[in-house]
Amino acid sequence: MAEPVGEQTGSTAFGAERDPARVVAFSDAVIAIAVTLLVLEIRVPEDTQHLLHGLATLWPSYLAYVITFMLIGQIWVNHHVMFDHIRRVDRVVLFLNTVLLMDIAFLPFAASVLAHAFHDGHGQRTAVVFHGLTFELAAILFNIIWDYARRNHRLLAATIDPVGARAIAWRFRLALAWIATGILLGVVLPVLGLAVIAAFIPFYWLPISGETARAKRRRARRGQP
């Protein structure tokens, strides 16, 4: 049975353990603001006499917008993947999630740097690495939060078993390697590095195989919904 929202469910050396509902709500709000700020970085062309040409020259801004928006969308989805299975949070999780949100709020700036570099034709390597490192930090924090939460299954709900927890951990670790590869390639060929990071988008929207299958079968055997 689910515990009431806001109820303290235990106490540890890291403070009282609480329901994660407010963490998810606050995180959703920060992520929504971040994706909204992305479009504000696309400036209207000043020369309206050649508006079509001016709009066409903004292609780096469109590219940075699409890639960053979709990657933030993945962050949002996988944040829910985590907290769908985390039934309690302590101060460590609250702190790590706050750092994660700080990184997410920084992403519109990283997208702006990327767009300006490709528009001007200078600093593209630095921009791709900078953009990639911002997402790499988010991937690192996802791994830290999930590894901490699933340690001894202490903070996890009955919606997931150890096999499912490892499946999520494997997907999060893959993100670390994938983005790091894009960053390294971006040092040599910025377009290739950006393409590798962008290729991460369709793959990561795939369901996580084994996330809940065994837990659902176990509950079904017990006659639970």
Give 118: exposed, middle or buried? Use CB within 10 Å, 0-12, 13-18, 19+. buried
Mean pLDDT to the nearest integer, 94-113: 96
Residues whose CB falls within 8 Å of the CB of residue 72, separated by 6 or more in sequence, listed in order: 31, 34, 35, 38, 104, 107
Could you report the per-residue pLDDT of 175-185, keeping only the tens digit for each? 999 999 999 99
Could you report the per-residue pLDDT of 9-26, keeping only the tens digit for each? 455 545 556 788 999 999
Residue-level pLDDT at 49: 79
Dihedrals φ, ψ of 160, to 5°? -145, 145
Q: Is the model more confident about 185 or about 6? A: 185
Residue-level pLDDT at 202: 86
Could you report the per-residue pLDDT of 128-173, keeping only the tens digit for each? 999 999 999 999 999 999 999 988 788 888 888 888 889 999 999 9
- Mean pLDDT of all residues belonging to the chain: 86
Q: Label residue 222 by pLDDT band (50, 70, 90).
A: low
Mean pLDDT to the nearest integer, 114-121: 92
pTM for the full model? 0.83
The residue ranges of every structural domain in the chain are: 14-221
Q: Label residue 220 by pLDDT band (50, 70, 90).
A: low
